[in-house]
Structure 1
Amino acid sequence: MDASTSLLIFQITCCIGLSLWLSISLINNLHAFVSSAGAIGATMSMAPLAQPPAISFPLLGRAMTSPSLHRLALAIIVLIQAAAVLTAWVGCYELVLGAGLEASLPWLNLALSAALGFLLAMLLGGIWFGYWIRQEGLQLTHLLLMVWILLHFVVLNVRWS
């Protein structure tokens, strides 16, 4: 096996893995929409800061307790996730069965952009609502997922010789 074939196998593995991860994430949010909206609501209402010992700081005025806003926030995330899933699978098709890497890159880059977009939305929303104080694991997860998406971009777009 030559290096270009082994690189293509690695790229295909990345694409399929990314597409599956995006798909499962979307399915989870659709299947457990109410629970996911509740989790978003906990962050947006800044509820973890009220848990003992309660933390009082000036940013608490940003808290949003409306379940309708929590559902709207999740609905926006779900729509972006759906776009990411669709474009990722089109990119996989082009890479594996279609015209190859060059034809798949616009689709895969669009999927990566959508994924980066919904992760940035979660990261920025979290930082707005002070999740670094009591939900630092969630913040680290969002940051790590962003690094993962950026690494996918490098693997797919850098021309390896």
Structure 2
Amino acid sequence: MDLHTSLWLFQAVQALGLSLWLCIAVLNNLQAFRASLGAVGATMAMAPLRQPPAIDLPLLSRAVHAPAAHRIALVLVLVLQVVAAAAALVGAYSLVIGGAIEPARPWLNLALSAFLGFTFAMLLGGLWFGYWIRQEGLQLTHLVLVLWALLAFVLFNVQWA
């Protein structure tokens, strides 16, 4: 196998894996919308900080208890997830069928931009609501997703030999 083919194969696997992961994320949020809404609501209401032993911080004044705000936040993430999944599917299809990255690149970059957008929304929202204190695993997951998006961007956009 030559270098060009092996690079194409690696990019194709990444594009397909990313698009399937994004599709599953959308499906999960649609299928378990109430559960996702509850998780978003708990984070925005800063409920984990109130669980025993309660952590009394000035940050608690940021808590949002409005279910409508929780729903808006989740819908925003879901819309970005749908855009990311759709663009990733088109990009992966274009890459696999076309056999080259050039026609797929704009779609994959759109997918990665939406992916980074919803991941930053979760990461920055979590930071605002103090989730690093009791939801460290969730914060680490969001950081890893940012890293994945950045590395995928390099993979799809750097001109390889």
TM-score (norm 1): 0.98
**Counterpart Cα distance in 1 of 2:93 and 2:36:** 30
Can you give the 5+ residue segments of structure 2 that lack an aligned partner in the other structure? none
* 2-structure distance, mates of 1:71, 1:35: 11
1:14-69 Cα distance to aligned partner (Å, 9 max, x none): 00000000000000000000100100011000000001110001110110011121
Displacement after TM superposition at 1:98 (Å): 3.2
CA distance in 1, matches of 2:159, 2:81: 28
Map 1:1-161; keep pairs closer than 5 Å: 1-98=1-98, 100-161=100-161
* CA distance, structure 1, for counterparts of residue 62 and residue 41 of structure 2: 13
Identity of aligned residues (%): 61
Structure 1 gap ranges (5+): none
**Contact conserved, 2:8 with 2:100, CA < 8 A, in 1?**
no
Question: Any idea what the Cα deviations from partners look like across 1:100-148, whole Å, max 9, x if unmatched?
Answer: 3111000000000000000000000000000011111100100011101
**Aligned-residue CA RMSD (Å):** 0.9
AA at the equivalent of 2:33: F
Amino acid of the residue matched to residue 136 of structure 1?
Answer: E
Inter-partner Cα distance in structure 2 for 1:101 and 1:31: 33
What whole-Å deviation, never above 9, does each CA across 1:70-119 have from its counterpart, x for those lacking one?
11110111001000011111111111113731110000000000000000
Tell me which amino acid in the other structure corresponds to 2:21.
Answer: W
Give the SS at the match of 2:98: coil
Equivalent residue of 2:65, what SS? coil
Distance 2:4 2:98 in 1: 18
Secondary structure (helix, strand or coil) at the match of 2:52 reads coil
- More moved, 64-73 vs 36-45: 64-73
User: Is residue 8–residue 99 contact of structure 2 (8 Å, CA) maintained in 1?
Assistant: no
> How many residues get paired?
161
